[in-house]
């Protein structure tokens, strides 16, 4: 059996895709990799919330699956939006890698004054964290971000620790504990999506990690109930059925946070509804400030 997999052309996306291909090879399934450009890759000089949010990295690959150009695609699961097109399904969720953010800096932490990130969540959490820093917009793939750091445009940049591990990058800096710097929903998780065809879906079942899938689905339930996608500063992290979820103001001065049982999607939805209720003003203020 041979399948065509679609992927973004970034080094990280290819590394993630190669991991899935190696797993499939163990089951006698051959794969051919096809690189596909997305609008998120083409417009790196514009903040994410102004070019369509997290879905901009996924839509082109969804289209390629639906029109039969490829059989499946591999994504960082945090890039997959809540609303999915009919005919495309998440068929496997790999065992989660590190969910944490990592602050990369070559100078001492106390000398960090300018931090680069395009994430409203990371911006708000840093401003809350007590460091006297300026947050500057930074987009581009991992290599581009590191280059800009080395060129002195920033004193530090924020990367997902999982991405660094997948690229075998050993960089100086500070690991940000997910209990305080609560990650984006599904951060550190790789997902496989394919056409909604039973036989094709069954092909990927051996790759699925049940606990990670369960935690990821709880996080997505919270995200869906909060709303706002990647626009509203929100962190949602479930590990072995324990859930931490928070929403923050853009300036990091106000936040609402819930720590509770996250053993089911239903629990996740209830917590998401509660968090949206108590954090309504924060969420709406953020959306208004971002022009949404």
CB 236 within 8 A of CB 179: no
Q: How confident is the model at residue 55 (pLDDT cuts 50, 70, 90)?
A: low
Contacts of 15 (CB under 8 A, 6+ apart): 166, 167
Alpha-carbon span 85 to 79, nearest angstrom:
15
Percent of the chain with pLDDT over 70: 92
The Cβ-side half-sphere exposure at 184, using a 13 Å CA radius, reads 27
All structural domains of the chain with their residue ranges:
101-176
Mean of per-residue pLDDT scores for the chain: 92
Percent of the chain with pLDDT over 90: 84
Confidence (pLDDT) at 52: 46
Q: Pairing mode, if any, of strands 114-116 and 156-160?
A: parallel
Confidence (pLDDT) at 18: 98
The residue annotated as part of the active site, out of 128, 145, 166, 276, is 145
The residue annotated as part of the active site, out of 139, 214, 220, 276, is 139
pLDDT digits (tens, 9 = 90+) for 60-101: 999 999 999 999 999 999 999 888 999 999 999 999 999 999
Alpha-carbon span 283 to 285, nearest angstrom:
5
The partner residues of 143 in beta bridges, in order of sequence, read none
The residue annotated as part of the active site, out of 8, 21, 97, 122, is 122
Average pLDDT, stretch 139-154?
94
Alpha-carbon span 256 to 124, nearest angstrom:
12
The residue annotated as part of the active site, out of 21, 62, 71, 78, is 78
Average pLDDT, stretch 171-194?
97
Average pLDDT, stretch 38-48?
51
Q: Is the model's pLDDT at 43 over the cut of 60?
A: no
230 belongs to the catalytic site: yes
139 belongs to the catalytic site: yes
276 belongs to the catalytic site: no
pLDDT digits (tens, 9 = 90+) for 191-230: 999 999 999 999 999 999 999 999 999 999 999 999 855 5
CA 149 centroid distance within chain: 21
The residue annotated as part of the active site, out of 8, 21, 62, 79, is 79
pLDDT digits (tens, 9 = 90+) for 169-178: 999 999 999 9
Q: How far is CA 97 from CA 172, 180, 189, 191, 225, in A?
A: 19, 18, 6, 12, 25
The residue annotated as part of the active site, out of 8, 91, 101, 121, is 121
Q: Is the model's pLDDT at 45 over the cut of 90?
A: no
Average pLDDT, stretch 182-195?
97
Domain covering 101-176, topology: D-Maltodextrin-Binding Protein; domain 2 (3.40.190)
């Amino acid at each position: 059996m041979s399948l065509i997999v679609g992927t973004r052309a970034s080094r990280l996306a290819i590394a993630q895709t190669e991991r899935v291909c190696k797993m499939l090879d163990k089951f006698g399934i051959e794969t051919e990799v096809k690189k596909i450009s997305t609008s998120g890759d083409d417009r790196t000089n514009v903040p994410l919330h102004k070019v369509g949010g997290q879905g901009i990295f996924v839509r082109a690959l969804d289209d390629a699956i639906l029109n039969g150009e490829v059989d499946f695609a591999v994504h960082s699961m945090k890039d997959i939006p809540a609303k999915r097109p009919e005919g495309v399904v998440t068929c496997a969720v790999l065992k989660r890698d590190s969910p944490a953010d990592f602050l990369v800096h070559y100078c001492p932490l106390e000398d960090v004054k300018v931090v680069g990130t395009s994430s409203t969540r990371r911006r708000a959490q840093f401003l809350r964290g007590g460091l006297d820093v300026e947050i500057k917009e930074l987009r581009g793939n991992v290599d581009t971000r590191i280059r800009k750091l080395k060129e002195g445009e920033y004193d530090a940049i924020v990367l997902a620790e999982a991405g660094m591990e997948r690229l075998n990058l050993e960089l100086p800096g500070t690991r940000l504990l997910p209990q305080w710097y609560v990650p984006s929903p599904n951060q550190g998780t790789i997902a496989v999506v394919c056409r909604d065809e039973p036989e094709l879906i069954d092909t990927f079942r051996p790759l699925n990690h049940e606990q990670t899938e369960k935690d990821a689905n709880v996080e997505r339930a919270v995200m869906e109930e909060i709303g706002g996608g990647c626009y509203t500063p929100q962190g949602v992290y479930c590990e072995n059925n324990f859930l931490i979820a928070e929403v923050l103001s853009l300036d990091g001065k106000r936040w609402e946070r819930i720590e509770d049982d996250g053993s089911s999607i239903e629990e996740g939805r209830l917590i998401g509804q509660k968090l949206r209720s108590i954090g309504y003003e924060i969420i709406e203020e953020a959306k208004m400030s971002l022009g949404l």
